[in-house]
Amino acid sequence: MFRTRTRRTRTPLTAIATLALVAAVLAGCGGSGSPGGSAGPQLGPAAVRAALAAEVQRDIAAAWPKMTEVWTGSDHGRRVLILAGAPGEGAEVIDVAGVTRATAADLARARIEVPPSGYAKATWRGRAAVVMAGPDPVIAAEAMRVPGARAATSRLIATAATRESFRLYDQRPGTDRAWPALSDTAEEHLGHGAPLPPSAAPRLYRASLINALRLAWLEPERRPHHLAAAAYWQGRWADGSPEEYAAARHLDLLEGVGGYVQTASALLMPHSGNPRTYKKQLAYDAFAHRTGPADPDAESREIGGLACLIMAEQEGAGEEVEGWQEQLVESGTTPAELLLDEIEPAGQREDTELARRVAEETAAERTVLARTVDPMLKAYRDRTTTLLLVPSTALRGPFLAGGQHIGPEGSPRQIYGGVQAAYETSSGAVEFTGRPAFEDTVDSKRYLVVPIDPADPATRLTGRHLVLAAPRLAGSLDVTATTRNGRRLLIAR
């Protein structure tokens, strides 16, 4: 019954700027693009945007003309980044030639909609463009005062824009021009994320795989040893979690190659100091095991990104996996599978400190899910519960999943831990602000689904009109009531 497909989750640029600032300050303000230094004067919003855009443009000008060296046929030279300010403030239009200012009226005439966070595809004066919501002006202003934070913020924006440009115009997932391995027909719709309930073992194996691949990239002289370790952890994950292994293939390819493009573009951008030191910094900044709940996007991006970086280096040394880029495009083989295909695994010991951290993270995630997702699943299993179905095509703006999970037997297949998204239909609108939900398909149409209680005072159904004032779910729209398999459904119109 459940047919799912990947929904992209995005990190808002406000969070990116915050992370960049904190990371750079804690690191002594020695950012990737310029040396550290004392804080400068506070800048106004317009000056902040202009200064930030100038540094992003420097990075883009260095990397985008050379992106065909990173991925054959990926021509970024004529593409445009539109880095938008707050509503009504217009945007900085950035390309390899420079930065120009676009007013809000200019954007409106070009029919460019700025997403509240994340990225969007657009056309700017006949050229392919990526639209990004800029960082929070207060955070950005503080970052611009500290050289290391300024460089880290601009570098993150430039590399993220490169990754999204590649995704939108080269990989094109979910379109009729997508890579064969990323087309709708190629995807098995097995759900994405870690199976419920959370288990520490697969997270430990994936984290160990990341560590082994990172060392294999950084230490070419010991690469055979590290790849043998990587093959062992890949095998432990595949054998111990076959359902997750199968479900992760699509994301490992999509995000993995994206992670490679992002880091490879950073290697083309200006940096100070020794190239080996810069490479090591990138390795630990971009491919570090993160604390917190399982993050399928990050795991796939890190594992696949490192595997591709290694295959690219092997190609330069005449030790390549033959036609590795073509194989990824056509076959659906993941980067790690392709890299490790003929590598003999060598047994490894678990890192006790890493195992402890992963166990703590998993226990914390179980606690969160017990008060968020578990009540939703309990309501779903009660066939007297009414389900609200909102068409996926009604999504307006970004979709933040709040965690992706594969449901257990007898539950929805694709579960989201806390959706943040706005939907607009012809009859009204509804907004999710951290509400658990899941995906379903009814009559070949995809829906975001959430259990509701029409008897709840926060939920009022009058005829066909539904008004919602529930926790983390609000709005009003018309619905069509129907019954399927003995369950009442309200389908938004």
The 10s digit of each residue's pLDDT in 149-178 is 778 888 999 999 999 999 999 998 767 788
Residues 66-84 pLDDT 10s:
999 999 999 999 999 999 8
Q: What is the pLDDT of residues 439-466, one digit of tens each?
A: 988 888 899 999 998 888 889 999 999 9
Instruction: Give ∠ CA 255-256-257 in degrees, rounded to 5.
Output: 95
Decide if 301 is inside a domain.
yes
Same domain, 167 and 185: no
Contacts of 57 (CB under 8 A, 6+ apart): 94, 95, 98, 99
Q: How much is the average pLDDT of 83-106?
A: 92
Average pLDDT over every residue of 6-12: 40
Sign of CA dihedral 167, 397, 294, 185: negative
Full residue range of the structural domain in which residue 67 is found: 13-171
35 belongs to a structural domain: yes
Instruction: Give the domain-ending residue among 150, 171, 192.
Output: 171
| pTM as predicted | 0.85
Same domain assignment for residues 166 and 205: no
Q: How many CB atoms lie within 10 A of CB 342?
A: 9
Asked whether residue 19 falls in the same domain as residue 57, the answer is yes
pLDDT at 24: 41
SS3 state at 101 = strand
Q: Is residue 5 part of a domain?
A: no
Same-domain check for residues 327 and 442: no
| Residue 266, pLDDT score | 95
Distance CA 331, CA 194 (A): 24
- Residues 91, 28 within the same domain: yes
195 and 100 within one domain = no
Could you tell me if 450 and 328 lie in one domain? no
Provide the mean pLDDT of the chain. Answer: 85
Convert the pLDDT of each residue in 118-130 to its tens digit. 788 999 999 999 9
With a CB cutoff of 8 Å and minimum separation 6, the contacts of 150 are: 31, 34, 51, 52, 55, 143, 144
How does pLDDT run across 280-309, given as a tens digit for each residue?
A: 988 888 776 655 566 888 899 999 999 999
Q: Is residue 7 included in any domain, yes or no?
A: no
Q: What is the pLDDT of residue 41?
A: 54
Residue that is last in its domain, among 115, 137, 171: 171
Counts for the chain of helices (H) and strands (E), in that order: 16, 16
Q: Give the model's confidence band at 484: pLDDT under 50 very low, under 70 low, under 90 confident, else very high.
A: confident
**In 3D, which of 375, 385, 376, 374 has the Cα closest to residue 486?**
385
Q: Cα–Cα distance between 166 and 182 in angstroms, integer?
A: 14
Q: Is pLDDT at 50 greater than 90 in this prediction? A: no
Q: State pLDDT tens for residues 182-241.
A: 875 444 445 678 889 999 999 999 999 999 999 999 999 999 999 999 999 999 999 999
Q: Most distant CA pair in the chain: distance in Å?
A: 72
Name the domain count of the chain.
3
| Terminal Cα-to-Cα distance of the chain (whole angstroms) | 22
Do 150 and 266 share a domain, yes or no?
no
- Dihedrals φ, ψ of 162, to 5°? -65, -45
Determine the Cα–Cα distance for residues 207 and 284; give it in Å rounded to an integer: 13
Final residue of a structural domain among 133, 148, 171 = 171
Q: Is residue 386 part of a domain?
A: yes
* Helix pair 296-316, 200-218: axis angle to 10 deg: 30
CA atoms of 208 and 349, how far apart (whole Å): 10
Inter-residue contact 447 to 439 (CB < 8 Å): yes
* The token pair that represents 429 in the structure block: 């609108």
Which residue, among 272, 276, 285, has the nearest Cα to 27 in the 3D structure? Answer: 285
